[in-house]
Amino acid sequence: MDQPRRIFILELSLCFAAGILINIYDFFIYRVPLSSVASMFIGCSIAGFFIGLDSALAQEQKIILKTPQEEAISPLPKRLFPITRRFTFVAITASIFVSLVLILVFTQDIDWLTQTAQDEESIRAAQLSVTSEVLFIMAVLMVLIVNLIFAYSRNLKLLFNNQTRVLEQVSQGDLSTKVPVATQDEFGIIAGHTNHMIDGLRHRFELVNSLKLAEEVQQNLLPSHSPDLNGFDISGSSIYCDQTGGDYYDYFQLPDEKLGIAVADACGHGVGAAMLMVSVRAFLTSAVKNYQNPAQLLFEVNRYIARDCEKSGRFTTMFFLEIAPRTKELRWVRAGHEPAMVFQAQSKTFTHLDGPGLVLGVDENYVFACQTASPCQAGDIILIGTDGINETRNKEEKLFGHQRLKKIILAHAQDSAQTLRDAIVSAVATFRGDLAQEDDITLVVIKAV
């Protein structure tokens, strides 16, 4: 990008040097007066100025046309030479040259008029001659300036076309092309920042694609269908507020035909929570192979999580429920998770599967205790969910809460587990309205039939 400037300096220096050499030769060989020497020097300087600018603009045009064909895109210009400064430089320099030429012309012509103008006819002829000379000089200077204007306008048009062409491609989703940084003016700065924008969009699209892949992977980790457990109708669902989330639920086949149901919630949401939840799932899947009871299972899982999260301070809540289909007895452990809600069909009352329990990932030596409940009766409903349900807010900053949840369960007590699950999800979405979902929502509905 420095080539046009170097060419301008070279052309100007050559003409400047040529003027000096010619003046020295004329002065010493032909004894030309100093006034004529000054005229020759100024003329060579003007010629060098316009020739240098024309050559620099021609070289700049070559660079503008050549740069898009090169694979490497130049970085931001290290030195800025604004267009306004360039215009100011040309305008001031041209004005100085025009003034010098006019001063020399008028000085020489006035001297000539005083020597030749003897009568009215000769004065008129002299005036015509001076006017023609001034008009000729002004016409030559005007042609040179107009030529520069056209050359510079052509370069600006090329730069503008390069910029708009790439921006049109970006608007259509094509991020394969960048704007060539061919000048050190505002167009070069705009081109450089446009390229940074394109790089940012590429990175963002890559991140979005990665998040979509992570979402697909995480969704594949969730159960693809409800378990077939004699005497129970079970249905679960997870809805993330981002592409990925920290909620998780799963079903496990346990010894003696028992079924284990795990619902977990990692602190936060998004990619970080999703990564933690994937680890939790891996630990849970590994530990369940040596399953004895819910307390022993969560003790093993907690040891692994605590070691991994010791420095990060992250934690996970979990509710693990064991169902014995023969006796319909329940055993569970609540590791800092919300208690499961139980609807007793005969009395139409609500209770909770409560109990002590520390969140996973804080104390690796914490010992959990199993809680038990009497056998389920036909029509009883157990709801295990995350706090994303009850803590959903509406425009009035009101919480969805447990009371609304109980009303939905009462209204759909005779329906299937899936119908009740869908009704809860729909009611939460309606309550939230147009507001964005702030937290992940996970629930598992278990109905004794």
Q: In what order do the strands lie in the sheet with 371-373?
A: 247-253, 259-266, 316-324, 329-335, 371-373
Query: Cα angle vertex 185, ends 179, 186, to 5°?
Result: 70
Contact status, residue 434 vs residue 367, Cβ threshold 8 Å: no
Return the ∠ at Cα 210 (arms to 204 and 213), rounded to 5°.
145
Report d(CA 136, CA 200) in Å as an integer: 56
Identify the band that residue 33 occupies on the pLDDT scale cut at 50, 70 and 90. Answer: low
pLDDT at 100: 79
pLDDT band, very low/low/confident/very high, at 244 (cuts 50, 70, 90): low
Pull the structure tokens for residue 8: 């301008």
Long-range contacts of 346-354 (CB under 8 A, 24+ apart): 346/377, 346/379, 348/410, 348/413, 350/406, 350/409, 353/319, 353/321, 353/382
Structure tokens at 229: 């457990």
**Could you give the CA distance from residue 92 to residue 49 in angstroms, rounded to a whole number?**
12
What element of type H or E holds 233?
strand 232-239
Query: What digits encode the pLDDT tens for the residues 72-100?
Result: 555 667 777 788 888 888 888 888 887 87
Q: Which residue has the higher pLDDT, 96 or 345?
A: 345
Confidence of residue 351 (pLDDT cuts 50, 70, 90): very high
pLDDT at site 252: 95
Chain centre distance of CA 113: 74
> Does the predicted TM-score (pTM) go above 0.75?
no
The average pLDDT across 2-7 equals 80
Chain centroid, CA 44 distance in Å: 55
Which pLDDT belongs to residue 259? 96
Q: What tokens does 266 get?
A: 């990692």
Distance CA 280, CA 263 (A): 11
User: Please, how many CA atoms are within 13 Å of residue 367, restricted to the half-sphere of its CB?
Assistant: 0
DSSP H helix total and E strand total for the chain: 10, 10
151-202 residue pLDDT tens: 888 888 888 888 888 888 888 888 888 887 878 788 888 888 888 888 888 8
Helix (H, G, I), strand (E, B) or coil at 381: strand
**What is the SS3 string spanning 17-59?**
HHHHHHHHHHHHHCCCCHHHHHHHHHHHHHHHHHHHHHHHHHH
Residue 431 pLDDT: 94
**Residue that has been written with the tokens 């924008």 in this structure:** 197
pLDDT band at 372 (very low <50, low <70, confident <90, very high): very high
Q: Which of 241-245, 270-274, 294-298, 338-342 shows the lowest per-residue confidence on average (mean pLDDT)? A: 241-245
Tokens encoding 202: 């590429």
Report the SS3 class of residue 196: helix
Hey, how many other C-beta atoms are within 10 angstroms of the C-beta on 127?
13
Q: Scanning the structure block, which residue is given the tokens 């509406």?
A: 394
- pLDDT > 90: percent of the chain: 34
> Does 245 have pLDDT greater than 70?
no
SS (H, E, C) 93-130: HHHHHHHHHHHHHHHHHHHHHHHHCCCHHHHHHHHHHH
Higher pLDDT, 267 or 230: 230
Average the pLDDT over 46-72 and give the result.
Answer: 79
- pLDDT, the chain, mean: 84
Q: How far is CA 205 from CA 131, 209, 243, 321, in A?
A: 69, 6, 14, 41
Q: Which two tokens stand for residue 51?
A: 């020739």
Please report how many Cα atoms fall inside a 13 Å half-sphere around the Cα of residue 99, on the Cβ side: 6
Do the Cβ atoms of 55 and 15 come closer than 8 Å? Answer: no
* Residue 425 pLDDT class (50, 70, 90 cuts): very high
Task: Give the SS3 label for residue 305.
Answer: helix
Residue 427, pLDDT score: 95
Identify the burial level of 256 via C-beta atoms within 10 angstroms of its C-beta, where 0-12 means exposed, 13-18 middle and 19 or more buried: exposed
Alpha helices in 77-229 (DSSP H): 83-116, 120-171, 186-221
Tokens of 330: 């329940």
